[in-house]
């Protein structure tokens, strides 16, 4: 672009010359860039520049108070002898490995149920979707009550069935399962995506299968699942990425405890930065998280992605 | 787009306003001196802090009073109504917009001091006709505010310390003499335990030592001695002759310290006189409501809680008494600091404000509502007490607590640099494990070893 020339050139007689120099497609490009500039600016300011600063910090020690000091590979070395990192990884992996498949199953099942044409189905769809638009903080407060050991709904239910009093949020063995159960409450988002996917499957396939004598299970196995595989795959990837970044529940309900049982990776990054005043190491763990997510996404694309059926592969 | 506003002039305007904004933002922090209507120059200083409604109101009132006394200084209150104040505070420092003065959490004080973040106010104090008097503050103040060389980088806002709150109606009903604060009224641990057992009742009306007692269905707990705040642990450790810190960092792996913590846990798991939950808020009721409804007979809580656990606000009369002594009477005194930042461009004005915060106007308003204990010696004398002891809030024997118990048995200590990290990552998880039933001797030695590595690194980084 020749904006410098434009700005300098204030002589009105020069205008036609400039008009000629900007072709239609150039002008269109400018308009295009203007329209996408909110994204570009956001990407630069809130992603790329912070990520690069984080990269710079991985080789520095910085407590936010004094200037960063170059420490070479100390932070990366510390990844291998940090006593808390294995626990943070374990909590995050366990959470992901259990919560994501369970969430997919439940949201898929709900979507199947809500795909029926019943009177008032819209109300049910709304009810099941509602939890996912409740602010995370509000639902965290709500679930802290549900998991209350003495008076919480969960224990009232369990004890009325003759079960024991489960110390949900007090016990290191139960806190993580409690947060996993809580995560299932907000499957509404993926449920809606599944529902949209289900409605995109033409009835003609099911009719043809019925004529061929296929039962419910066979229709599910040979029509619904293959046709839905791109949607399942999408929800899987998004689910993985989101659950690796889980923060609010661990921060608000358990504060990483008891005994670090719910010390999720992102919570650990936050603590390292603002309680341990170690920005450099926090940035290093952030980059570790990035590589974990990239690696996992690669594996999922490689080993699960090739089993996805695309109806119109050209698109 | 209208024909009058060409794309180019739009771009130019946008660019100019962005540049203007950026330039303005650059200028903002530097423009600090304003002219008052009468021509006098007004210096504006900022004050950062946290706090709920009471603290917020108190600070605002103090600012008004201070500005009326000092027309040349304007204080801008930067309030973060959240426990993660430090996150906001540090972000401001990293962004180059630190406040001039601030609340400093006691656990961060030494860390910030070692980093050179805080202004040395020793000379200001020494030269002050009021604050410079040798007995102006209670003796514990200097033990905590001054460093090894006697330099002060902040002044404790006040003191707070844990003690027992009890449902006085229940004690009267059971004919039990409650604990007090004078030497002959302080219970030893066995007496405390016996009373706690007597007051603990299951759904069949049985007590913990009775045959058939059902620990899963307790109607009323005798006591709650929580692990949820380190100050309760500190009080128990001091009472058992242990120390919280020594030259290596945490000293909680000593036999005395571990025994003290074990006694707290045994109240839950061995004697069944205390609820299991790490904190009562996760019980669905706070200790306050449980005391009020008779589901809890005694609660160990901080002195600050007197502002809501008191006879005016609850339906039952509330009494207070000293913590039981294990080998000696003790409680732990602490509070956040007020400090000025070394980077301030207005150290003299910042000092004036800090000084004001350490004078009766500011502290009395919190003392009257039961939130704070005195930090100034004059407030513990008979005349001084009359200025703030409030009927309906402070029980009759609170005078003993302030004028006898605290001076003799209150312990304050300096929290070493790096302690927040050591606490968050290692010590607190160990406390949680003990509160959850793991023996103290199984977790404390390793937790202390890891904590002290962190503390050693923090000390090395700053020296």
pLDDT tens-place string over residues B278-317? 544 555 568 898 899 999 999 999 999 999 999 999 999 9
The upper half-sphere exposure of residue A169, i.e. CA atoms within 13 Å in the direction of its Cβ, equals: 31
Q: Which residue has the higher pLDDT, A145 or B8?
A: A145
Note whether residue B410 is domain-resident. Answer: no
Stretch A33-40: mean pLDDT: 94
Tell whether B407 is covered by a domain.
no
Instruction: Report how far Cα B375 is from the mean position of its chain's Cα atoms.
Output: 13
Contact B424 A276 (CB under 8 A): yes
Contact A149 B112 (CB under 8 A): no
Q: What are the counts of helices (DSSP H) followed by strands (DSSP E) for chain B?
A: 19, 15
Whether B393 and B422 map to the same domain: the answer is no
B454 located within any domain: yes
The whole-angstrom separation of Cα B429 and Cα B423 is 8
Number of domains in chain B: 2
Residue B46 has pLDDT above 50, yes or no: yes
Per-residue pLDDT at B25: 46
**B190 and B282 together in one domain:** yes
Q: Tell me: ipTM over 0.90.
A: no
CATH of the domain at B175: 3.40.190.10
Closest partner residue to A165 (CB to CB) among B90, B216, B278 is: B216
Residue B11 predicted with pLDDT over 70 = no
* Residue B463 pLDDT: 61
If you average pLDDT over residues B244-273, what whole number do you get? 96
Q: How confident is the model at residue A18 (pLDDT cuts 50, 70, 90)?
A: low
Instruction: Check pLDDT > 60 for residue B102.
Output: yes
Instruction: Give the pLDDT band of residue B14 (cuts 50, 70, 90).
Output: low
Taking the CA of residue A199 and the nearest CA in chain B, the distance in Å comes to 42
Give me the pLDDT at residue A56, please: 96
Range of the domain at B156: 33-160+334-398
Q: Is pLDDT above 80 for B138?
A: yes
Predicted confidence at residue B41, as pLDDT, reads 81
Residue ranges covered by each domain of chain A: 3-42, 81-307
Q: Are residues B430 and B384 in the same domain?
A: no
Residue B96: closest CA among chain A residues belongs to which residue?
A: A65
Residues of B whose CB is below 8 A from A3:
11
Q: Are residues B277 and B387 in the same domain?
A: no
| B338 half-sphere exposure, CB direction, 13 A CA radius | 21
B15 inside domain: no
Q: Is residue B278 part of a domain?
A: yes
Residues B353 and B442 in one domain: no
Q: Among A258-262, B302-306, B327-331, which is the least confidently predicted range?
A: A258-262
Under CATH, which architecture does the A81-307 domain have?
Answer: Orthogonal Bundle (1.10)
Statement to judge: residues B253 and B303 lie in one domain: yes
- The values of phi and psi at residue B250, to 5°, are -70, 140
Rounded distance between C-alpha atoms, residue A80 and residue B43, angstroms: 51
Residue in B closest to A9 by C-alpha: B8
Residue B34 has pLDDT above 80, yes or no: no
CB A263 within 8 A of CB A179: no
pLDDT tens digits along A41-52? 999 999 999 999
Interface of A with B in 20-39 (CB under 8 A): 30
> In this structure, are B313 and B346 located in the same domain?
no
Least confident of A19-28, A191-200, B363-372: A19-28
Cα gap A10→B13, rounded to integer Å: 15
Predicted TM-score (pTM) of this structure: 0.85
Which of A278-282, A309-313, B54-58 has the highest mean predicted lDDT (pLDDT)?
A278-282
Closest Cα to residue A74, out of A215, A283, A257? A283
Q: Which residue of A has its CA nearest to B219?
A: A150
Q: Is B52 on the interface with A (CB under 8 A)?
A: no
Q: Give pLDDT, residue B8.
A: 58
Nearest to B367 by CA among B380, B355, B354, B349: B380
User: Residues B386-413: what's their mean pLDDT?
Assistant: 94
Per 3-state DSSP, chain B is made up of helix, strand and coil in percentages (nearest 5) of: 45, 15, 35
Do residue B106 and residue B201 come from a single domain?
A: no
Are B297 and B179 within one domain? yes
| pLDDT tens per residue across span A68-107 | 999 999 999 999 999 999 999 999 999 999 999 999 999 9
Does residue B341 sit in the same domain as residue B240?
Answer: no
pLDDT at A1: 41
Per-residue pLDDT reduced to its tens digit, B410-439: 999 999 999 999 999 999 999 999 998 999
Rg (CA), chain A: 26
Q: Which residues of A touch B276 (CB under 8 A)?
A: 149, 167, 170
- Domain co-membership, B348 together with B304: no
Contact (CB, 8 A) for B59 and B77:
yes
């Amino acid at each position: 672009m020749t904006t410098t020339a434009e700005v300098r050139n204030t002589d009105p007689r020069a205008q036609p010359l400039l008009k000629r120099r900007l072709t239609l497609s150039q002008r269109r490009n400018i308009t295009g860039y203007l329209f996408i500039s909110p994204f570009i600016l956001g990407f630069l300011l809130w992603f790329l520049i912070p990520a690069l600063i984080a990269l710079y910090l991985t080789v520095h020690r910085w407590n936010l108070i004094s200037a960063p000091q170059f420490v070479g590979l100390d932070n990366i070395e510390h990844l291998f002898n940090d006593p808390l990192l294995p626990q943070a990884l374990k909590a995050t992996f366990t959470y992901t490995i259990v919560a994501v498949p369970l969430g997919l199953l439940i949201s898929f099942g709900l979507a199947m149920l809500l795909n029926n044409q019943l009177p008032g189905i819209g109300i049910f769809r709304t009810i099941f979707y509602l939890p996912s638009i409740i602010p995370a903080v509000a639902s965290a407060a709500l679930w802290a009550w549900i998991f209350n050991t003495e008076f919480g709904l969960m224990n009232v239910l369990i004890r009325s069935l003759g079960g024991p009093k489960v110390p949900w949020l007090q016990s290191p063995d139960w806190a993580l399962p409690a947060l996993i159960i809580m995560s299932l409450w907000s499957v509404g988002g993926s449920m809606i995506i599944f529902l949209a996917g289900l409605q995109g499957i033409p009835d003609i396939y099911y009719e043809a299968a019925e004529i061929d004598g296929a039962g419910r299970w066979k229709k599910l196995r040979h029509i619904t699942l293959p046709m839905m595989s791109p949607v399942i795959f999408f929800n899987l990837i998004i689910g993985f990425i989101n659950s690796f970044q889980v923060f609010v529940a661990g921060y608000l309900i358990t504060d990483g405890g008891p005994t670090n049982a719910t010390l999720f990776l992102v919570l650990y990054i936050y603590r390292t930065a603002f309680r341990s005043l170690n920005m450099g190491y926090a940035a290093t763990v952030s980059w570790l998280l990035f590589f974990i997510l990239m690696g996992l996404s690669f594996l999922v694309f490689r080993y699960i992605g090739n089993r996805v059926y695309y109806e119109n592969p050209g698109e | 787009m209208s024909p009058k506003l060409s794309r180019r002039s739009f771009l130019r305007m946008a660019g100019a306003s962005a540049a203007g904004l950026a330039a303005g933002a650059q200028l903002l922090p530097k423009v600090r001196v304003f002219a008052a209507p009468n021509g006098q120059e007004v210096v504006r200083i900022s004050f950062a802090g946290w706090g709920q409604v009471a603290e917020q109101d108190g600070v605002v009132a103090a600012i008004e009073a201070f500005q009326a006394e000092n027309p040349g200084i304007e204080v801008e209150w930067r309030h973060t109504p959240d426990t993660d104040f430090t996150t906001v505070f540090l972000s401001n420092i990293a962004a180059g917009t630190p406040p001039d003065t601030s609340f400093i959490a006691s656990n961060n004080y030494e860390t910030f001091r070692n980093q050179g973040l805080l202004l040395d106010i020793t000379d200001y104090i020494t030269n002050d006709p009021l604050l410079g008097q040798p007995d102006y503050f209670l003796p514990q103040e200097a033990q905590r505010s001054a460093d090894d060389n006697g330099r002060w980088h902040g002044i404790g806002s006040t003191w707070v310390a844990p003690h027992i709150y009890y449902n006085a109606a229940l004690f009267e009903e059971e004919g039990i003499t409650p604990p007090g604060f004078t030497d002959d009224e302080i219970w030893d641990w066995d007496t405390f335990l016996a009373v706690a057992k007597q007051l603990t009742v299951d759904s069949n009306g049985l007590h913990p030592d009775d045959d058939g007692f059902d620990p899963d269905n307790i109607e009323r707990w005798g006591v709650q001695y929580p692990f949820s705040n380190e100050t309760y642990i500190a009080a128990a450790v001091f009472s058992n002759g242990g120390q919280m810190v020594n030259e290596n960092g945490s000293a909680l792996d000593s036999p005395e310290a571990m025994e003290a913590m074990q006694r707290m846990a045994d109240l839950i798991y061995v004697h069944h006189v205390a609820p299991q939950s790490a904190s009562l808020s996760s019980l669905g009721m706070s200790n306050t409501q449980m005391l009020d409804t008779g589901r809890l007979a005694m609660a160990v809580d901080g002195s600050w809680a007197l502002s809501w656990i008191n006879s005016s606000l609850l339906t039952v009369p509330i009494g207070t008494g000293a913590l039981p002594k294990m080998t000696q009477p003790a409680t732990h005194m602490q509070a956040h600091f007020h400090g000025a930042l070394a980077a301030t461009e207005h150290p003299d004005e910042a000092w004036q404000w800090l000084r004001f915060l350490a004078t009766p106007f500011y502290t009395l308003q919190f003392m009257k509502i039961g939130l704070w204990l005195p930090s100034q010696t004059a407030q513990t004398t008979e005349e001084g007490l009359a200025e703030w002891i409030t009927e309906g809030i402070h029980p009759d024997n609170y005078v003993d607590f302030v004028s006898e118990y605290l001076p003799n048995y209150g312990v304050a200590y300096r929290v070493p640099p790096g302690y927040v990290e050591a606490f968050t990552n290692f010590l607190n998880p160990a406390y949680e494990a003990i509160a959850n039933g793991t023996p103290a001797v199984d977790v404390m030695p390793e937790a202390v070893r890891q904590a002290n590595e962190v503390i050693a690194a923090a000390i090395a980084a700053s020296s």
